[in-house]
Amino acid sequence: MNNNKTLTIKEYELPIVIQKETGGGFTAYCSQWKDCYAQGDMIEEVINEVSYVASSLIELYEEEGMKIPLKLKKTSQKSARALKLTFPLIVSSDQYAIG
């Protein structure tokens, strides 16, 4: 039995716009993908939510054979036994609050 499985990792560019809502919280949406949007109480939360929505939509679109409206930056093959990944970590600061 071969336990050395390979995963295909796809890296997409996800341009988002974050807006502060008048009633509180934030809304994020992808300007290139009308189905990709989310809400959250804090900027970090809305970024995590819209990232999760995008991942779920990519999976759904692939299953349905639909075109994903995002730029595919890179595809790579990784061993499933030990993954080493680098990804952006976004943290907001009050001094950069959206007005």
DSSP state of 65: T
Q: Dump pLDDT digits (tens) for 53-86.
A: 999 999 999 999 999 999 999 898 877 777 776 7
Q: Can you list the alpha helix ranges (DSSP code H) found in the chain? A: 43-64
Q: What is the mean pLDDT of residues 2-29?
A: 89
Domains of the chain: which residue ranges? Answer: 14-71
Model confidence at 92, in pLDDT bands (50, 70, 90)? low
Which residue's entry shows tokens 């809502």?
21
Torsion of CA 54, 59, 60, 65, to 10 degrees: 120
Q: Which residues, 6 or more positions from 95, have their beta carbon under 8 angstroms from its beta carbon?
A: none
CB-count burial class (<10 Å; 0-12, 13-18, 19+) for 99: exposed
Model confidence at 99, in pLDDT bands (50, 70, 90)? low
Which CATH class, in words, describes the domain spanning 14-71?
A: alpha beta
DSSP state of 23: T
